[in-house]
Structure 1
Amino acid sequence: MPKSNKEIEIQIQQVIDSLSEQSKPNIAKTAREFAVNKSRLRRR
């Protein structure tokens, strides 16, 4: 079953929080770890 927009937003926020804690952020790797679409994350 597809995820709801609210679930996706929660995941994206978790990824953004994780990226902000990294000294050298890697968007692609972190997106894979959280199972978030890399393109959607880059637009944020």
Structure 2
Amino acid sequence: MQQDLQKQADKYGIRVEPINMMDYGMQKGAAVLDFALSLIENKN
């Protein structure tokens, strides 16, 4: 699934990465947000 989404996102220069399921499951919102923001900052 990630590969299919990445193919679509590549057209727009967007990186697709799954979030850390442990952070998500443990409701570590700050860690999930930091990861999401790192994807935006590292668009290269």
Range class of TM-score, shorter chain:
0.3 to 0.5
Which one has the bigger helix percentage?
Answer: 1
Structure with the greater alpha carbon radius of gyration: 2
